[in-house]
Structure 1
């Protein structure tokens, strides 16, 4: 399990509809993940999907950067990435608290992996 190269990371974010980041942000972010993985399309050699986890290594983890190129979606790539990331957490931090922020297209995927809305007990917030 490893992150994609910075150029692939930036391309995956842009083409899958995630917000764009600067090269400097990408270089630091890719290296700063607790866990990361990517999927290579065998026939083309193209990086087709990715995901990362940030966390404290003990009990708290946040799934980020789940992205699959549009022409590779609905082929199980997102499911494979999330399965690998959650398996990595389960092996190294059993019983961990794992969360994420779900955009509408990913909600069904996350629900299949046991994620539920945290509201009203807690509500995600962000600093603007």
Structure 2
């Protein structure tokens, strides 16, 4: 396997939707992705040739809050440090561009908390609880 190339680039909507499904994340509508992806505060894509094998994004208001979303790696590329590489690139960009004191949040599925703890994230419970509503 050749090493995936990392770029600070938003994936194409069809690639984004397909990778979410392949990685076991919830499905997203491609028409929504067409609108939402360009509004990313920061995006990272990992590609082998033209094929998207990993991605991650941050969404934000630009000054007060950032949220890490869409960390996904294709199953045949998992366990090769790509999630760590994606998260590291996003956090590097956040430290470079975001104002001091910005609050960075994320929702971690299952064992992913171990990955995010390496970057300084801590569980907020019991002080606060993450909540979600999907419309």
Report runs of 4+ in structure 1 exceeding 6 Å deviation. none
Match among 102, 115, 118 for residue 112 of structure 1: 118
If each structure's helix is expressed as a fraction of its own residues, which one has the higher value? 1
TM-score, normalised via structure 1 length = 0.92
Q: How many residues align?
A: 126
CA RMSD between the two structures: 1.3
Mapped pair 1:126 → 2:129: no
CA separation in 2, counterparts of 1:3 and 1:50? 8
Structure 1 stretches lacking a partner, 5+ long: none
Alignment match, 2:57: 52
Structure 2 stretches lacking a partner, 5+ long: 1-7
TM-score, normalised via structure 2 length = 0.88
Mapped pair 1:88 → 2:93: yes
Cα distance, 1:120 vs. partner?
1.0
Cα distance, 1:127 vs. partner?
2.5
After superposition, what is the alpha-carbon deviation per residue over 1:92-113, rounded to whole angstroms, capped at 9, x for unaligned?
1133211100001422111111
- Residues 90 and 96 of structure 1 are in contact (CA less than 8 Å); yes or no, is this contact kept in structure 2? no
Alignment match, 1:25: 32
